[in-house]
Amino acid sequence: NKQVILNHCVRGSPKESDMEIRTARKKLKLPGGSSGAILVKNLYLSCEPYTYVTNGMSKMEGKIEGVNLESFNPGSPIVGYGVAEVLDSSHPNFKKGDLVWGITTWEEYSIITSTEGLFKIQHTDVPLSYYTGILGMPGMTAYAGFFEVCSPKKGERVFISAACGAVGQLVGQFAKLFGCYVVGSAGSKEKVDLLKNKLGFDEAFNYKEEAHLNAALERYFPDGIDIYFDNVGGKMLDAVLLNMTVHSRIAACGMISQYNLEHPEGIHNLLCLLTKRIRMEGFLVFDYYHLYPKFLEMIIPQIKEGKITYVEDIAEGLENGPSALIRLFSGRNIGKQLVAVTPG
Ligand code: NDP
């Protein structure tokens, strides 16, 4: 059973050498009796900033209120989201052959003892890898963040950072379908082209090439931003605050620019929250999973009718898991980064 092991707690940006590939010789077997555990074959593993946070790779470990973080265990496989096939089950709700998505471990085969974080896959006429992205946790994050947190109105002006990623590319498409003007920022020309030419954004810019973020935002939003979907925090958030309209909204989805910093950057323009009566709300997708059936009802037809596109960046083979995971923090991933456990 090939595994991706986390060697030690990571300080600063993660490196490939923080993880290693190991082969466990012990044959996996379900505990006897009605333990409720299931044995699965992992098919796809999801790379996300969350994987980094919940595995104790960042200093944020243990600080997410209301979320039961997996306890960090050096020398154990990484814990994260994935798509898997059930091979054996002692749980009444799961049987051999079922396909599931949810929390699993980074190895070829896993025994999952707590099935609480697992969803049974009902729709199999779409790519199964989509359950790590558009039909999984990032999809729900985009849906809940945009529709529940941002309270959008038709015609509003929406800005999204890390717009070409797993979550951002969907927020932009939801906002366009809803009738908003949508601009995204991303870290390369290739991503900017994708946003404008494939994902239907009205405008996009490479934030790494802008000497002054404030000037860039003024260029694309001469009348201000009504909704900011924040995936990065830091300097971008600071510049955005200056450009928000009165009674605008900010969904604080993520702050990837801050996760690896020893000393997070200060935000200077918070006074704008008050003067412009901005509502800034942090949210966690875990509070919205009750909306998953409603989300599927909306998104499955949109995928089948080609109204929504999803860009994936697939690393082939479990041994490429470590390099795939760290791509997120240098922005090398183009679209949703995931790992196909067995090369296709
Ligand atoms: P992405 O697929 O967007 O990958 C991360 C991207 O972030 C990179 O491709 C890179 O794109 C950008 N990035 C990396 N480092 C920096 C930096 N220092 N400054 C600015 N941008 C950077 O990831 P996801 O879509 O999975 O996640 C997006 C955000 O949403 C993350 O902050 C994540 O933590 C958060 N999240 C929150 C959830 C919640 O429940 N609130 C649930 C899921 C995700 P670029 O080329 O643009 O630099």
Residues 155-204: pLDDT tens digits? 999 999 999 999 999 999 999 999 999 999 999 999 999 999 999 999 99
Using pLDDT thresholds of 50, 70 and 90, give the confidence band for residue 57. low
Using pLDDT thresholds of 50, 70 and 90, give the confidence band for residue 33. confident
Using pLDDT thresholds of 50, 70 and 90, give the confidence band for residue 9. confident
Q: Is the CB of 191 under 6 A from ligand 1?
A: yes
Mean pLDDT on 89-108: 96
Q: Is the CB of 233 under 6 A from ligand 1?
A: no
Q: Which atom of ligand 1 is nearest to the CA of 145?
A: 41
Query: Which of 15-29, 44-58, 212-226 shows the lowest mean pLDDT across its residues?
Result: 44-58
Mean pLDDT on 301-312: 97
pLDDT on residue 62: 44
Q: Which atom of ligand 1 is nearest to the CA of 236?
A: 20
* 238 CA → ligand 1 middle, Å: 17
pLDDT on residue 31: 80
Q: Is the CB of 132 under 6 A from ligand 1?
A: no
* 209 CA → ligand 1 middle, Å: 18
Q: Which atom of ligand 1 is nearest to the CA of 50?
A: 34
* 45 CA → ligand 1 middle, Å: 17
Query: Three-state SS string across the chain, please?
Result: CEEEEECCCCCCCCCHHHEEEEECCCCCCCCCCCCCCEEEEEEEEECCHHHHHHCCCCCCCCCCCCCCCCCCCCCCECEEEEEEEEEEECCCCCCCCCEEEEEEECECEEEECCCCCEEECCCCCCCHHHHHCCCCHHHHHHHHHHHHHCCCCCCCEEEECCCCCCCHHHHHHHHHHHCCEEEEEECCHHHHHHHHHCCCCCEEEEHHHCCCHHHHHHHHCCCCEEEEEECCCHHHHHHHHHHEEEEEEEEECCCCCCCCCCCCCCCCCCHHHHHCCCEEEECCHHHHHHHHHHHHHHHHHHHHCCCCCCCEEEEECHHHHHHHHHHHHHCCCCCEEEEECCCC
pLDDT on residue 327: 95
Q: Which atom of ligand 1 is nearest to the CA of 252?
A: 41
pLDDT at 283 over 80: yes
pLDDT at 307 over 50: yes
Measured by CA distance, the residue closest to atom 8 of ligand 1 is 331
pTM above 0.80, yes or no: yes
* 211 CA → ligand 1 middle, Å: 21
Candidate from 53, 81, 141, 231 with most ligand 1 atoms within 8 A of CB, to mutate: 231
Q: Is the CB of 48 under 6 A from ligand 1?
A: yes
**Domain architecture of the chain: domains with CATH:** 2-133+310-340 (3.90.180.10), 137-286 (3.40.50.720)
* 138 CA → ligand 1 middle, Å: 10
Q: Is the CB of 232 under 6 A from ligand 1?
A: yes
Model ipTM value: 0.99
pLDDT at 30 over 80: yes
Q: Is the CB of 231 under 6 A from ligand 1?
A: yes
* 48 CA → ligand 1 middle, Å: 8
Q: Which atom of ligand 1 is nearest to the CA of 53?
A: 34
